[in-house]
């Protein structure tokens, strides 16, 4: 998380298996839907950078660069499709392999989406799975917008509550880190 112009903090969230349409779409980054959502939490302006793969296998080639600097990971399954729930172990394994510290240093949230449809995965089953993996849990409907804001609020609040997450960020832009020190400008190409 970095503070820019003294007022906006940035949060990077990796979202798999869904696309929340409340977020302004910025463009296409290697086939991944890259979005930014502005929100206010506890009087702080938060800029969330969201990378959304929509759960597609073709995006798995992004591996570690995709997870670098992420402070939050959101895994989303469709409550009306058991296969999306059963694939969560594979997605979580990828998080553990490619994110810093095996995924222990990120906030992880499981979202049961499409609750407006007839479900085949019970809330209880999903809550139990999330709890066993040390994840937060929320249900939502992108169609009716139920629970969508809660998804972002939960992730951002937990990130802000954990100062260690604030120091684990990869510099993404020039500005000031929350510790007040200026970020060093990296000499890379700016990709990712």
Which DSSP letter does residue 139 get? E
The answer, yes or no, to whether residue 148 has pLDDT greater than 80, is yes
Across the range 160-184, mean pLDDT stands at 50
Q: Give the predicted TM-score (pTM) of the model.
A: 0.68
The reported pLDDT for the residue numbered 41 is 76
What are the domain boundaries of the chain? 2-170
Which numeric CATH code is attached to 2-170?
3.40.50.300
Which residue pairs, CB below 8 angstroms and at least 24 apart, start in 50-53?
A: 50/12, 50/13, 50/14, 50/15, 50/20, 50/23, 51/12, 51/13, 51/14, 51/15, 52/15, 52/16, 52/18, 52/19, 52/20, 53/15, 53/16, 53/17
pLDDT of residue 86: 93
């Amino acid at each position: 998380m970095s503070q820019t112009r003294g007022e906006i903090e940035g949060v990077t969230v990796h979202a798999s298996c869904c696309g929340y349409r409340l977020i302004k779409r910025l463009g296409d980054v290697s086939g991944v839907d890259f979005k930014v959502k502005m929100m206010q939490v506890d009087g702080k302006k938060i800029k969330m950078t969201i990378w959304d793969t929509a759960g597609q296998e073709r995006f798995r080639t992004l591996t570690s660069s995709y997870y670098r600097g992420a402070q939050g990971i959101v895994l989303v399954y469709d409550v009306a499709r058991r296969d999306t729930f059963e694939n969560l172990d594979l997605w979580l394994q990828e998080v553990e392999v490619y994110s810093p510290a095996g995924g222990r240093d990120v906030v992880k949230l499981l979202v049961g989406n499409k609750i407006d449809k007839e479900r085949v995965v019970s809330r209880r089953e999903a809550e139990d799975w999330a709890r066993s993996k040390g994840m937060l849990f929320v249900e939502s409907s992108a169609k009716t917008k139920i629970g969508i804001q809660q998804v972002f609020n939960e992730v951002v609040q937990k990130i802000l509550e954990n100062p260690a997450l604030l120091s684990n960020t990869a510099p993404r832009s020039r500005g000031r880190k929350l510790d007040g020190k200026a970020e060093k400008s990296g000499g890379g190409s700016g990709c990712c």
